[in-house]
Structure 1
Amino acid sequence: MDWILFLIFLATCLAAGSTGALFQPGDWYRSLEKPRWTPPDWVFPVAWFTLYLCIAGAAARAAPVEGSAYAMATFALQIALNTLWTPVFFGLRKMGGGMLVIVALWISVAVTMALFFQLDTLAGLLFVPYLGWVSIAAALNYAVWRRNDPAPVASSG
């Protein structure tokens, strides 16, 4: 693995994660009704730092492989959406908007993971925990939105 590429991708991930410092959950989020399976606050920075190491490692393995253009394009999309979710959900306090972003994020992570698997098995495997965590985050976003949005989600019945 090219360690310079790894450090560049890690810096990219940490820059995306810096929105968590800029748009902290604060009292607004603490006041929301959340499901009992919500992870404790300390889990989030630990999980994200670990995931960012995996994401950077995956990108550093995939980027130099011939034919990686589409994989790296979807990597760029997923990191942009990763960066966007926090300001939408915590900054603007738009739970529905956050849901739209996280669904797009989930799709882009899944596509990136599939493309990484085609280039390098380990790169694909390093994205599996990320997709799992985004799945949990999406479920949590939805549950919080359903419990707290003054305009309930329309049901189909």
Structure 2
Amino acid sequence: MNKSNNSGIVEQFVNAVMGVKTLNQQQFPNTSIVNTQELDVRAVLVYTLGTVLQIVVMVLVLLGMEKIVMLIDSNSSFPNWFSTFLTGLFFALLSIRSRIFSLLDNTRSRQTYDQVIRPRWSPPPLVFPIVWMIIAVLRVISSVLVWQQMNHQFLVLPLILFVVHLALGDTWNTIFTVERRLGAAVPVVILGPWLSALVVTAIYWQTNPVAGMTLSFSCVWLTVAAVLVFRIWQLNGSEPLYPLKLTPVEK
């Protein structure tokens, strides 16, 4: 009983930190969705525009942080460690809640994962927020190391690519978790979060080898995630690898 209670507490804590809603927290609409084989052009435009705007906003936030840190570093009344501490908090916010900068619906939910057919080797739902918490910590450490290596600058290529990677991940979450477009999720996870993670890790490594090694775990996990997304797509009907037009039907 104690073990069950402890695991429940751990699950609630992890889900609260990562903003994950469990199935019983979701409100189900009074409609069902019918897929056609028609390409949803509007969805493609919305995803593209939403991703681009999120990247622009986060780059502007990087610029704002650079100005703030410059003021802090030039002010002798602040201790030397304060700008590093503030930068760590900033990267923690980006790593855990980058979706606050997105115009797309980026609800973190277990609903899709709980309901689709999954391969036998698929991790239990609680594994995902725990692993993403670990990755968030590694992102903070590696990004602070890069920031220090770049003389406290934020508007530098490695960190810009980092926010691009986060935005692509948020868009993928919208496609897979929120809208359950299992076909479109396959190429997006490969060309988006997975490929961008490799690029960011490589450029972090060039900037600071320790930062690159720290971030490399995310590449391993995203490789597993990409394979899992592919297998879920195969097991659930192998719909076309593009966003299908959805038609709402009243229940």
TM bucket (normalised to shorter chain) is: 0.7 to 0.9
Residue number in structure 1 paired with 2:48: none
1:8-87 mapped onto 2 (5 Å cutoff) = 8-16=90-98, 22-26=107-111, 28-66=112-150, 69-87=156-174
Q: 1:82-93 counterparts in 2 under 5 A? A: 82-93=169-180
Greater share of strand: 2
Aligned to 1:63, the other structure's residue is in SS state helix
Paired residue type of 1:94? R
Q: CA deviation at 1:64?
A: 3.5
Q: Percent identity?
A: 22
TM-score by length of 2: 0.55
- 8 Å contact kept, 1:68–1:119: no
Moved over 4 A (4+): 17-21
The answer on whether the counterparts of 1:10 and 1:56 sit within 8 Å (CA) in structure 2 is: yes
In structure 2, C-alpha distance between the alignment counterparts of 1:92 and 1:152, rounded to whole Å: 15
Distance 1:43 1:144, change over 3 A: same
Aligned residues between the structures: 152
Distance 1:40 1:20, change over 3 A: farther
What 5-or-longer segments of structure 2 have no aligned partner?
1-82, 242-251
Change (3 A) 1:142 1:150: closer
State the structure with more CA Rg: 2
Q: Which has the higher helix share?
A: 1
Preserved CA contact (<8 Å) 1:38 1:140: yes
Please state whether the residue corresponding to 2:161 is helix, strand or coil.
helix
CA deviation profile, 1:46-103 (whole Å, cap 9, x unmatched): 1000110101111111124239822112111111112222111011111122222211
Normalised by the length of structure 1, the TM-score is: 0.85
Q: What root-mean-square deviation, in Å, do the aligned CA atoms of Structure 1 and Structure 2 show?
A: 2.5
